Amino acid sequence: MVVNQSFGIANRFPPYAKNVLGFIPVDGALGLAPTAITPNNVTSFFYNIAASLDQKVLSIWLESSNNLSTQTLQSTVTLGGRDDEHCSAEKWFYTPQADPSYWSFTLDSITIGANNLNVTQTKTQTVAQKAFMYHYNFLIAGPDEHIDFIAKSIGAEEAGNYYSISCDKSVAPHISFTIGNHNITLTPDDYVLSVITFF
């Protein structure tokens, strides 16, 4: 049971939030961010229940879909333990939190096909080494230098403030992010989304 939990009600959303949430019908949003960035220093939901959990761990599994209009996707949030049903135990690893205000980690490099970007040696290294996880967002944002590297390496074309690529996944490369001594690899099925219009 969760007690003394503050929450807010939003009647209007800023344009960026409306555009992102507009793809997926929702009744509400449960933030899992650290307390450091909550409005008015309200104790976040996860911090509020942490003392009653067997382990101070949460697992988020999102069912994959390449079509943003799909409305039958299922997801699971596991509080106080690992979700071994959806996430292979041998793929779990731990890395230090890079910024106490966010669920963040240190990103060492990005590899796409034969192209490699050593994040620790780029112009924006003091900021770029920190990578932040957002469970509600399907976008990748970052310093121009890194986003340009990813976009050019996968053959994306610039469209205003965004990039788009062909929906033909057979020609799209894998993208690997090195975190500590571990690689997280995205296949075209993971990052190519089929949309007719965007924003």
Whose CA is closest to 46, among 3, 83, 4, 79?
A: 79
Q: What is the pTM of this model?
A: 0.74
Instruction: Give domain status of residue 27, yes or no.
Output: no
Amino acid type, 56: K
Cα separation of 130 and 96, whole Å? 11
Tell me if residue 147 falls in helix, strand or coil: helix
Stretch 83-110: mean pLDDT: 85
Amino acid type, 66: N
The string of pLDDT tens digits covering residues 26-57 is 667 777 878 888 888 888 888 888 888 888 88
Instruction: Give domain status of residue 44, yes or no.
Output: no
Instruction: Give domain status of residue 97, yes or no.
Output: yes
Amino acid type, 132: F
Tell me if residue 157 falls in helix, strand or coil: strand
Find the CATH number of the domain harbouring 163: 2.40.70.10
Choose between 102 and 21: higher pLDDT.
102
The secondary structure of 90-121 as a DSSP string is GG------S-TTSSEEE--EEEETTEEEEGGG
Overall domain count for the chain: 1
Instruction: Give domain status of residue 152, yes or no.
Output: yes
Stretch 156-166: mean pLDDT: 82
Cα separation of 96 and 114, whole Å? 28
Cα distances (Å, whole numbers) of residue 38 to 33, 45, 99, 108, 171 = 7, 10, 15, 28, 42
Instruction: Give domain status of residue 67, yes or no.
Output: no
Q: What is the pLDDT of residue 128?
A: 47
Instruction: Give domain status of residue 191, yes or no.
Output: yes
DSSP state of 18: H
Boundaries of domain holding 138: 93-199
Instruction: Give domain status of residue 56, yes or no.
Output: no
Tell me if residue 177 falls in helix, strand or coil: strand
Instruction: Give domain status of residue 50, yes or no.
Output: no
